[in-house]
Amino acid sequence: MPPTIDPTKRGATLPSDPPEGPVTLINSFVVDPRRDEAFEALWTQTSVYFRAQPGFVGLRLHRAVSPDATYRYVNVAVWESAAQFAAAHATEEFRQVVGQPGWREFPSSPTLYEVAIAYDAQPIAR
């Protein structure tokens, strides 16, 4: 999905047959480095809504360290299920939160994922 400032497209689309288990929203944002403070304040304010929703597991905001990154910020949010993710993104309050005028300055590309392959660090045998 190309970056958007349209509030109606700020949520990731769901497949017709959503996965049963946890899902991860990865939302990449185009942010001018001179606007970091404004973006982080708006993101933090908006995150209050999501953190209070049923099925919310966790949230991380990553900032690029590569100076040539297209997306300066990447939001990674884990939800217990696609249904709970969808419910949180279907409310009037959600539309108000993502429809704030400040978001027009920060195009984003939200996409929903499921884990395909996972490896965790193993303790080193001594």
Indicate whether 98 belongs to any domain: yes
| Residue-level pLDDT at 2 | 64
pLDDT digits (tens, 9 = 90+) for 2-60: 675 665 666 677 767 877 899 999 999 999 999 999 999 999 999 999 999 999 999 99
Q: Where are the alpha helices (DSSP H) in 9-118?
A: 36-51, 82-88, 92-98
Indicate whether 54 belongs to any domain: yes
Q: Where are the alpha helices (DSSP H) in the chain?
A: 36-51, 82-88, 92-98
Indicate whether 99 belongs to any domain: yes
Indicate whether 38 belongs to any domain: yes
pTM of the model: 0.85
Furthest-apart CA pair in the chain: how many Å?
A: 56
CB 72 within 8 A of CB 64: yes
Pair of tokens at residue 106? 């920060």
Provide the domain limits for residue 57: 31-64+83-107
Indicate whether 77 belongs to any domain: no
Number of domains forming the structure of the chain? 1
